[in-house]
């Protein structure tokens, strides 16, 4: 199984391809696309789309892994990542490549055993897991390899569902079960409606 991992961004987009053969994982390719600040946003997005299409056509991965934006204090950064994600997912859809998603914390926990692992820890663990002779650089490429590794280790020919039904930013929200967040929302709504019914009865 071959996986293309993408760490999305409009200024810098990391990519990494890994291949699983039996129980062994190896790195095939990795790198980073940087776009000039002199380019307009449409030009940046076009360059990202062209690169992802080229990678998909060249390596023909079975799956693509994309980092899902979980939280960002910087609205501008969040918007840029969201736009890059959209272009990447579009390219995957055009090539018929299934997409898997994970938050940075999910990937770090799987790779380094710690959701708040720093960049250097992620690089070292990716190097170790993939048996690379050198640390993967730059950081964006290392993150992309980590995402690809996460997909290769968690997907076994099934549809990976990591998002809740209410997460409309996800590629494929879960349509079964109930997350803790959803349960809390449902219980809060039920409690509010019960309180409203009680108020109406008391008023009458």
Distance CA 177, CA 102 (A): 18
7 is catalytic: yes
- DSSP sequence for 85-113: HHHHHHHHHHHT--EEEE-HHHHHHHHHS
Catalytic residue among 19, 101, 106, 140: 140
Coil, strand or helix: which one is 200?
helix
Catalytic residue among 67, 101, 106, 155: 67
140 is catalytic: yes
- DSSP sequence for 136-168: --SHHHHHHHHHHHHHHHH-SSS----S-TT-T
From 32, 118, 108, 37, select the one nearest 70 (Cα to Cα): 108
Catalytic residue among 7, 19, 27, 101: 7
Contact 43, 175 (CB under 8 A): no
Residue with the two structure tokens 């690379």 = 132
Phi and psi at residue 2, to the nearest 5°: -115, 135
Distance CA 28, CA 8 (A): 19
101 is catalytic: no
Q: Please identify every residue annotated as catalytic.
A: 7, 67, 140
């Amino acid at each position: 199984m071959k996986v293309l991992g993408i760490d999305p961004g409009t200024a810098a987009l990391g990519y990494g391809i890994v291949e699983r053969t039996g129980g062994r994982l190896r790195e095939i390719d990795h790198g980073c696309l940087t776009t000039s600040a002199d380019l307009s946003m449409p030009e940046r997005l076009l360059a990202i789309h062209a690169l992802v299409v080229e990678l998909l056509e060249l390596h023909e991965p079975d799956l693509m892994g994309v980092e899902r934006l979980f939280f960002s204090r910087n609205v501008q950064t969040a918007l840029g990542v969201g736009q890059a994600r959209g272009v990447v997912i579009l390219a995957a859809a055009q090539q018929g490549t299934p997409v898997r998603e994970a938050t940075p914390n999910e990937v770090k926990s799987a790779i380094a055993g710690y959701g708040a692992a720093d960049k250097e820890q992620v690089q070292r663990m990716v190097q170790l897991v993939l048996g690379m002779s050198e640390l993967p650089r730059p950081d964006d490429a290392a993150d992309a390899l980590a995402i690809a590794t996460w997909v290769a280790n968690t997907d076994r020919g099934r549809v990976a569902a990591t998002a809740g039904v209410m997460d409309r930013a996800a590629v494929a929200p879960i349509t079964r079960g109930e997350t803790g967040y959803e349960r809390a929302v449902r219980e809060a709504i039920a409690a509010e409606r019960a309180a409203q019914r009680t108020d109406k009865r008391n008023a009458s």
